Chains A and B, each alone.
Chain A
Amino acid sequence: MAILMDRIGIWIGVFLTFAIFSFLYKDNPFYKIAEQIFIGISAGYWFIYTIYNILIPNLFIPVTSDFTHNFILLIPAFLGILMLCRLIPSIDWVSRYALAVVIGTTAGLFFKRYLQSDVLNQLTATMLNPFASSNAVQIIGELILIIGTLTGIVYFFFSKKHEGAFGTTAKIGIYFLMVSFGAAFGYTVMARISLLIGRLNFLLGDWLGIIKP
């Protein structure tokens, strides 16, 4: 029975894989079926996931098992209930309070985090003596790092016209950015190929058995 279910699962997987691949040709009924199944199942999955992996372990169990130490959790629970008020048009405006708390808290929390990770840590990582090494390649690399960082920041100046020496510096900055984007593009495409390899493994291995996993 288990083997039969396994085979059925593989055949459904194969059908849906080909249905999604058929999008490469053009939109068609098979793609539409696969798309709707995918969206419907994933939406249902995430709904159940939220209940069993977020609400129950982080709210219901702590509050019911040890209310004294966890009563503070009622605040986010209350904000959650405010969000549900969107279902009642006459009082849907109260959900704005919950949204305001989330956006305000996010802005405050991330200000410190980004200032530390994206500003100070990067600043100190770039503060180096490029001529400390005896290796010419390393010296050039570190000089490029310093110049690239400086000119990159100049590109992101918004309150000054990019003209003259300032404009040239900003232009050098965007060249540095484009080179790094090109490198990132190639690197990420290579990573995406692994997704295709995964699907081909499924088709040629699990389904047709041509290759051994």
Chain B
Amino acid sequence: MKKFFFCFFISFMFIFYIQLVAQDISFTAQDNPNDDGGAILLEWNIPLSYPEMIISRSIDRENYIEIAAVSPLLKTFIDDENIEDGQEYFYKLSVLNLEGETIESFSASALAKAEWFNTDKISLLIMTILLGSSITYFIFSARKGKRLYIRKISGLDTIEEAVGRATEMGKPLLFVPGIMDLDDMQTIAGLNILGHLAEKVAQYDSTIHVPVCRSMVLSTAKEIVKEAYLRAGRPDAFKPDSVFYLTDDQFGYVAGVDGIILREKPAATFYLGAFYAESLILAETGFESGAIQIAGTAMPTQIPFFVAACDYTLIGEELFAASAYLSNEPNQLGSLKGQDVGKAIIIITLLVGVVLEMFGIHFLKDFLATH
């Protein structure tokens, strides 16, 4: 029995020792993948029992400079401090004991370089190609005369009614293109609608006020309204002062617009663009003045306020679809149809992804995840 226990103990210790010795101790250096150069990736596999390690760098294998103190737990370190592409860097990983003395060191070297492609974003490329090709295909189809259907968007059908009402009442219309600059797609979408609205205003010989809070938006809105009057055949009726700047300040702008709503009493107000905290202040003042209110934004936190206080609200993407809806122009209709195909692809991918996840297959999710 004693022999048996002795053999068992010896075997156990032997296996334990083998496990310890067999642990693959390694230290490697390589160019950090998928970057624009200037970084080297260091990886190591060191027993976790060591308290600390020091990484040193050299360009001549002689004069090493300490660059970081790391824990074995980390497993990787990216050195991106003053790294020049094409220069070979030598690294030393010194393993310290509890007293801080070096008990072992490992060496590795690597060159940094920039990559042409970031392979982590292949999924983004595939999605772009799919979306781009479907949009291009439908644009060309529409240009060739294929009839493309677009569903009814209630708020946009009332534009003509609002302009007519304003003309009958002898009151102006108010258009607010949001508080963001031209680098926001919602502002551009809003300005697209302004073009159609201004054309109707010109046709009906009504008036429109467009207060803005960004200089670039001022220039663009002026150009758009001027061109709309030209399209309507009434360039003489265009008043440059109808598009005017108030201030860049969010609440200063709101105070100004509120004043205009109260004093001018517009027959209809349009809030189409990117809005933040001012949405309810504007919409509530417009509601009090008795104007027909049409709003549209893709800001999820502001849509509820517009839904509550306006007659019609364009929710999210409806704002972007509005231009195609109003113009019926083949390029825009084709683009809209192409985007719908993109949405169908997203729905199918999502369904397949959920089913795969239920079976424990994570391939699709991992592939689509961009880093």
A159–B255 touching, CB < 8 Å:
no
Q: Which stretch in A7-15, A63-71, A122-130, A198-206 binds the other chain? A: A122-130
Whether B249 contacts A43 by the Cβ 8 Å rule is: yes
| B248 contacts A120, C-beta separation under 8 Å | no
Indicate if the CB atoms of A146 and B354 lie closer than 8 Å: yes
Question: Chain B contacts of A178 at CB under 8 A?
Answer: 307
CA distance A161 to B153 in the complex (A): 11
A172 at the interface (CB under 8 A from B): no
* Contact indicator B307/A96 (Cβ below 8 Å): no
Q: A156-B343, A160-B151 are in contact. Are A27 and B219 (CB under 8 A)?
A: no
Let me know if B263 and A27 touch, CB within 8 A: yes
Query: Please, which residue of chain A has its CB at the minimum distance from the CB of B220?
Result: A99
Q: Is the CB of B182 within 8 A of A153?
A: no
Nearest-CB distance from B224 to chain A (Å)? Answer: 10
Question: Which residues of A (124-143) have their CB < 8 Å from a CB of B?
Answer: 124, 126-131
Q: Which residue of A lies closest to B149 (CB)?
A: A159
Residues of A within 8 A of B86 (CB): none
Cβ contact within 8 Å between A184 and B351: no
Q: Does B105 contact A (CB under 8 A)?
A: no
With contacts A34-B255, A127-B365 taken as known, whether A45 is within 8 angstroms of B249 at the C-beta atoms is yes
Known: A159-B150, A159-B151, A184-B304. A192 touches B277 (CB 8 A): yes
Chain A residues positioned under 8 Å from B188 (CB to CB):
103, 106-107
- A188 and B185 within 8 A (CB): no
Cβ–Cβ < 8 Å partners of A162 in chain B: 151
The 0/1 profile, CB within 8 Å of A marked 1, for residues 329-346 of chain B is: 000000011001001001
Q: Interface SS of chain A: helix, strand, loop or mixed?
A: helix
In the complex, whether B256 has a CB less than 8 A from a CB of chain A is yes
Q: Which residues in chain B, 168-212, are within 8 Å of chain A measured between CB atoms?
A: 182-185, 188
Among candidates B255, B300, B343, B349, residue contacting A157 with C-beta atoms closer than 8 Å: B343
Is there a chain A Cβ closer than 8 Å to B238's Cβ?
A: no
Q: Are B127 and A119 in contact (CB under 8 A)?
A: yes
A84 and B215 CA atoms in complex are apart in Å by 10
Q: Which of B115-135 contact A (CB under 8 A)?
A: 121, 123-124, 127-128, 131
Q: Say yes or no for B328: interface residue by CB 8 A criterion.
A: no
Q: Would A99 and B249 count as touching, CB distance under 8 A?
A: no
- Find the B residue at minimum CB distance from A40: B247
Contact check, B365 vs A46: say whether CB atoms are below 8 A apart: no
Chain A proximity mask over B75-112: 1 for CB below 8 Å, otherwise 0: 00000000000000000000000000000000000000
Taking the nearest CB of chain B, how far is it from the CB of A196, in angstroms? 12
Q: Which chain A residue shows the least CB distance to B337?
A: A159
State which of B20-28, B46-54, B229-237, B313-321 sits at the interface with chain A: B313-321
A39 to B300, CA, bound (A): 28
The complex places the Cα of A160 from the Cα of B280 at a distance, in Å, of 33
Does the CB pair B340–A159 fall under 8 Å? yes
A182 within 8 A of B: yes
Verify A95–B185 contact, CB threshold 8 A: no
Residues in B with CB closer than 8 Å to A127 are 350, 353-354, 356-357, 364-365, 368
Question: What's the interface size class on A, roughly?
Answer: 35 or more
Whether the Cβ atoms of B216 and A32 lie closer than 8 Å is no
> Contact mask B144-160 → A, CB, 8 Å, 1/0?
00001111010000000
Nearest-neighbour CB distance to chain B for A167, whole angstroms, equals: 10
Question: In chain B, what residue has the closest Cβ to A163?
Answer: B151
Q: How far is the CB of B241 from chain A (nearest CB, A)?
A: 14
**Set of chain A residues within 8 Å of B301, measured between Cβ atoms:** 184, 188
Distance, CA A149 to CA B351, complexed state (A)? 11
Nearest opposing residue in chain B for A167, CB measure: B151
Question: Is the C-beta of A23 less than 8 angstroms from some C-beta in chain B?
Answer: yes
Q: Is B34 on the interface with A (CB-CB < 8 A)?
A: no
With A131-B358, A161-B151 as contacts: A99 and B219 at CB distance below 8 Å: yes
What CA separation (Å) do A112 and B370 show in the bound complex?
12
With contacts A27-B262, A129-B354, A158-B336 taken as known, whether A181 is within 8 angstroms of B307 at the C-beta atoms is yes
Q: Kindly list chain A residues whose C-beta atoms are within 8 Å of the C-beta of B357.
A: 127-129
Query: Does A59 reach chain B (CB closer than 8 Å)?
Result: no
Known interface pairs A123-B353, A124-B369, A157-B340; A115-B249 also in contact (CB < 8 Å)? no
Contact residues of B between 1 and 54, Cβ < 8 Å to A: none
**B343 in contact with A23 (CB, 8 Å):** no
Are A123's CB and B247's CB within 8 A? no
- B251 interface residue per 8 A CB criterion: yes
Q: List 27 A-B contacts (CB under 8 A).
A: A35-B258, A38-B249, A39-B247, A102-B183, A102-B216, A103-B182, A103-B220, A106-B188, A111-B128, A112-B124, A115-B128, A120-B368, A124-B369, A126-B353, A127-B354, A127-B368, A129-B358, A129-B360, A146-B354, A150-B347, A159-B340, A160-B149, A178-B307, A180-B300, A185-B304, A192-B277, A192-B280
Please give the residue numbers on chain A whose beta carbons come within 8 Å of chain B beta carbons, in ascending order: 20, 23, 27, 31-32, 34-35, 38-43, 45-46, 83, 86, 95-96, 99, 102-103, 106-107, 110-112, 115-116, 119-121, 123-124, 126-131, 146, 149-150, 153-154, 156-162, 177-178, 180-182, 184-185, 188, 192
Known: A41-B252, A106-B185. 12 other contacts (CB 8 A): A34-B255, A39-B246, A95-B219, A106-B182, A106-B183, A107-B188, A120-B368, A124-B369, A130-B358, A153-B346, A158-B150, A181-B303
Enumerate the 3 nearest inter-chain pairs by beta-carbon distance, A residue then B residue, closest first: A42-B249, A127-B353, A42-B252
